[in-house]
Structure 1
Amino acid sequence: MQPDNFTNEFFGIGIQNGKTPENLGVLWRSAQNLGASFIFTIGNRYAKQASDTHNAVSAMPYYHYDNFDDFFNHLPKGARIVGVELDERAQPLETFEHPRRCVYLLGAEDHGLTREAIDRSHFLVKFSSTLSLNVAVAGSIVLYDRALAKPRS
């Protein structure tokens, strides 16, 4: 019998320069429910939120990075960055093959990901939406899509 840790699959999700702390709590709750291995912030830190009703931040690993370079230099070996951004180079989420080992990176609602984060992401994804969505909603949609029985790259 092979232990589960030999599947070599993990994923985390985080926000770069999050605008409102309430969104973090909602995203962390979704991350915990949809199987994320860890959560993180870049720039602005997490503060306890009433919207994190499951207290996910204490139930799963949480990492904070001061800036994008700090985050990039501490990526788990073999992890791919999947930036979630309305960008002409982004692949449609509906047909995207999620990497087996990755981190999903979302930007602040008012500015999105930084240019550096976009340029250094291994993949960019977007989904059918004319305008940007609340960051917690967008992240939850990406996590739900990963949970579907789809091929992994």
Structure 2
Amino acid sequence: MNDNFTNEYFGIGIQNGKTPENLGVLWRSAQNLGASFIFTIGNRYAKQSCDTHDVVKALPYFHYETFEDFYKNLPKGARLVGVELDETAENLETFHHPRRCVYLLGAEDHGMSKKAIEKCHSLVKFKSEKSLNVAVAGSIVLYDRGINKPRS
């Protein structure tokens, strides 16, 4: 078996997502861009018309009621990478994606919780003065991961 495949994985999800349409769009991007799993914290996923590929049947989907529940179930050895417009966040253009990680995005209107930001191993942001739509932001991060291969 290819060691690169067995040693590399990533998942992506949203904490307290506001609009279900954004979930469907992000899940479709996750499937197309190679995510290993998807998840939500807080609000539950419901099938959306924009999820034309029925992604929750194609990728493992996890739902966590609280951030604490999510955090205690992170895969062992995975790095938690928050996508947040924060002064301490590294620009995506210079960020080195971990081989094994979980990307977490915040709600469209409030971002990630303070506790989630504090628990992240890394924070990344875009060169933008205003926040991006959560599905767009997540898709850009996954695309960047694909063209800037993770390092050990």
TM-score bracket, normalised by the shorter chain, equals over 0.9
CA RMSD of superposed structures (Å): 1.3
Distance in 2 (CA, whole Å) between partners of 1:59 and 1:74 is 21
Unaligned stretches of 5+ in structure 2?
Answer: none
Distance in 2 (CA, whole Å) between partners of 1:6 and 1:135 is 28
- With over 3 angstroms needed to count, the CA separation of the structure-2 counterparts of 1:23 and 1:115, relative to structure 1, is same
Question: Which stretches of structure 1, 4 residues or more, deviate above 4 A after TM superposition?
Answer: none
TM-score by length of 2: 0.96
Per-residue deviation at 1:110?
0.5
Equivalence for 1:79: 78
Per-residue deviation at 1:55?
1.1
Matches within 5 A, 1:10-49: 10-49=9-48
2:86 is aligned with what amino acid?
D
Matches within 5 A, 1:3-152: 3=2, 7-152=6-151
1:78 is aligned with what amino acid?
G
Distance in 2 (CA, whole Å) between partners of 1:98 and 1:63 is 22
Distance in 2 (CA, whole Å) between partners of 1:104 and 1:85 is 11
Distance in 1 (CA, whole Å) between partners of 2:119 and 2:18 is 22
Per-residue deviation at 1:128?
1.1
Q: 1:146 aligns to what SS in structure 2?
A: helix
Paired residues in the alignment total 152
Per-residue deviation at 1:53?
1.1
Q: 1:40 aligns to what SS in structure 2?
A: strand
1:35 is aligned with what amino acid?
G
TM-score by length of 1: 0.95
Per-residue deviation at 1:6?
5.8
Instruction: Give CA deviations for 1:74-124 in whole Å, capped at 9, x if unaligned.
Output: 001101100000001000000100000000000001000000000000000
Per-residue deviation at 1:5?
7.2
Q: 1:41 aligns to what SS in structure 2?
A: strand
Q: 2:124 aligns to what SS in structure 1?
A: strand
- With over 3 angstroms needed to count, the CA separation of the structure-2 counterparts of 1:6 and 1:133, relative to structure 1, is closer
Per-residue deviation at 1:151?
4.5
Unaligned stretches of 5+ in structure 1?
Answer: none
Q: 1:49 aligns to what SS in structure 2?
A: coil
